[in-house]
Amino acid sequence: MPSFDVVSELDWAEVTNALNQAQKELSQRFDFRGMDANVERTEAGIMVRANTDDRVIAAVEVLKEKLIRRKVSLKHFEFEKPDKGPKGTAKLLVKVTEGIDSDKARELVQTVKASKLKVQASIQEQTLRITGKKRDDLQAAIQLLRGADLGIELQYKNFRD
């Protein structure tokens, strides 16, 4: 029986490349000279630090630009407001979300069921498996999910006949 998986994964190699490019630009740009602006990956997400709040926001814009250029969707990232750090510096945490949480998975299942397509959707941890008898029904389900804007980036993998 044909099936495919719906996942929300992040290409960490591209994110690392974007972080390196952003750090390089922050070290070379004139308006960041003497600001000690840096971008680094931490366990909680991505930490952006600089001397002032406006420089942190500008560094985040540089990071967004590099992520977009590397074709990484910004739907995976939650940008918070700048916080005060030690000695008058500012920092901003960018949370990284990966995978489909249970609420979004239930929303996707309801969307598929409401479409009256002849497919079944089942939740498997952080993925959604969709099965059906015909390949055309599965392709219609992919088009349906592409059209539904749920605020997360979806990829379609493991298409099997």
pLDDT digits (tens, 9 = 90+) for 72-106: 999 999 999 989 878 888 999 999 988 888 888 88
CA distance 17 to 157: 24
Torsion on CA atoms 69, 146, 128, 139, rounded to nearest 10: -120
pTM of the model: 0.83
84 and 33 both lie in a single domain: yes
Q: Domain containing 22 — which CATH number?
A: 3.30.70.990
CA distance 133 to 119: 7
Domain boundary residue, one of 40, 69, 96: 96
Amino acid at 5: D
Rounded to an integer, the average pLDDT of 34-48 is: 89
Within 10 A of 149 (CB to CB), how many other CB atoms are there?
7
Average pLDDT, the chain: 89
Domain boundary residue, one of 96, 121, 142: 96
Rounded to an integer, the average pLDDT of 129-142 is: 89
If we measure between CA atoms, which residue out of 158, 108, 156, 159 comes closest to residue 135?
A: 159
pLDDT (0 to 100) of residue 21: 94
Domain boundary residue, one of 96, 112, 136: 96
CA distance 109 to 123: 8
Residue span of the structural domain in which 118 resides: 3-8+100-160
What total number of domains does the chain contain? Answer: 2
27 and 92 both lie in a single domain: yes
Name 49's bridge partners.
38, 91
71 and 42 both lie in a single domain: yes
